[in-house]
Amino acid sequence: MPTHPVHAFVALGSNLSDPEAQVSRAFNELNMLPATRLIAHSSLYRSAPWGYSDQPDFINAVAEIETRLEPRQLLEMLLDIEHRFGRVREFLNAPRVLDLDLLLYNGLIHHEHGLTLPHPRMHERAFVLLPLTEIAPECVIPGHGRAADHLAACGGQELQRLPKVDANSEILLQAAG
């Protein structure tokens, strides 16, 4: 366990069973993890499904946490949260109640079975990059550079930021924005 807390970023996504509520509940679950506290979270964003398109749109967000957990411990706890929320892995890119991905962990570049840091495809996905840069505008993806620089390369991946209060004033954001 690290002697000092480290910063990590977690992507959250859902497209089943009231996705907005699932992601909001998951923020609370992250804050309740042992030796961990939620530092910040992005707005919620609606995005088209990735990989398998015959499913509902996703609600996505990113959370920044401070933790003393090791990367593998943190990943196992994220998987446990998914399981408790009812996540079933039927096939690749299937609809899901909750998806939690460990994106970044204290600038670490690491690979072991089932855990790669930074997340291997995060720099290609507007639904990760836009919420990430909302809460950490200067964030650097180890081995890839500034997250904001990769966002411009995600042109065509449209996201819709969901309003925090007024559900009738949705804002359409272009990833290339």
Q: pLDDT tens digits for 68-96?
A: 999 999 999 999 999 999 887 776 777 89
SS3 state at 65: strand
Tell me how far apart the alpha carbons of residues 107 and 118 are, in angstroms, rounded to a whole number.
8
95 belongs to a structural domain: yes
Whether residue 84 lies in the annotated active site: no
80 belongs to a structural domain: yes
Q: What is the CATH number of the domain that holds 161?
A: 3.30.70.560
Domain count, the chain: 1
SS3 state at 131: helix
Whether residue 99 lies in the annotated active site: yes
Tell me how far apart the alpha carbons of residues 22 and 102 are, in angstroms, rounded to a whole number.
17
1 belongs to a structural domain: no
Range of the domain at 87: 6-174
Q: How confident is the model at residue 99 (pLDDT cuts 50, 70, 90)?
A: very high
Catalytic-labelled residue, pool 54, 96, 125, 146: 96
34 belongs to a structural domain: yes
Q: How confident is the model at residue 170 (pLDDT cuts 50, 70, 90)?
A: very low
Whether residue 96 lies in the annotated active site: yes
Catalytic-labelled residue, pool 99, 121, 146, 166: 99
Percent of the chain scored above 90 by pLDDT?
A: 75
Q: What pLDDT does residue 87 have?
A: 81
| Cβ(128)–Cβ(139) below 8 Å | no
Mean pLDDT over 44-70 rounds to 93
99 belongs to a structural domain: yes
Catalytic-labelled residue, pool 37, 68, 80, 101: 101
Catalytic-labelled residue, pool 87, 89, 149, 161: 87
Name the amino acid, one letter, at 84: R
Structure-model confidence comparison of residues 82 and 173, the more confident one: 82
Q: What six digits make up the tokens of 109?
A: 């570049």
Whether residue 101 lies in the annotated active site: yes
Q: What pLDDT does residue 29 have?
A: 97
For residue 118, is the peptide bond before it cis, meaning its omega torsion is within 30 degrees of 0? yes
Q: What pLDDT does residue 173 have?
A: 39
19 belongs to a structural domain: yes
